[in-house]
Amino acid sequence: MKKAGISAYKIFPASEIVFDSEVRKICEKNTCRLYGKSWACPPAVGSVDDCRELCSRYENAALFSSVYNLTDPFDYEGMVNGHRQFKKNCDSLFEMLVGKSRNFFLLSNEGCNRCESCTYPENKCRMPEKLFPSVEGFGINVVALASKVGLKYNNGENAVTYFGMLMF
């Protein structure tokens, strides 16, 4: 995972994933402006129960994160650049794994940014093989899960941490 730019990860049984319908309610408030606008986010990903069922098909999971330094806690440009880099890290992880196995499922963060405009809901996704749905959009409580598996969620005032999850 380090080759893919991942700062930290923990492997655990997929049965220990922490689902929380309250997390989905945050999505429904549309704070990120992606609710109902992306194949990687709700409602396109299905209900929390649908997402739980999909995750239950895998034996193991790995919660992973990458940390990006900011010039100050309000460094929006640094956050955006970190987010862009994290998406590239997820792509790198996918490329490393796809040659070895097809029995995995990758979740990223905060929707998808591959296309200038998403086809949702009128047409199918243009790149379904590289569609990595949102961890939070799946109703996964990343704060609780990170604590449970021993990953640091907050890496300081001048840092932003992005999370993804691999199921295999």
Residue 141 has pLDDT above 80, yes or no: yes
pLDDT (tens digit, 9 = 90+) per residue, 46-103? 999 999 999 999 999 999 999 999 999 999 999 999 999 999 999 999 999 998 888 9
* 1 pLDDT above the threshold of 80: no
SS3 sequence of the chain: CHHHCCCEEEEEEHHHCCECHHHHHHHHCCCCCCCCCCCCCCCCCCCHHHHHHHHCCCCEEEEEEEEEECCCCCCHHHHHHHHHHHHHHHHHHHHHHHCCCCCCEEEECCCCCCCCCCCCCCCCCCCHHHCCCECHHHCECHHHHHHHHCCCCCCCCCEEEEEEEEEC
pLDDT tens, position by position, 8-27? 999 999 999 999 999 999 98
In this prediction the pTM is 0.91
Q: Is the pLDDT of residue 2 over 80?
A: no
Does the structure show a pLDDT above 90 at 3?
no
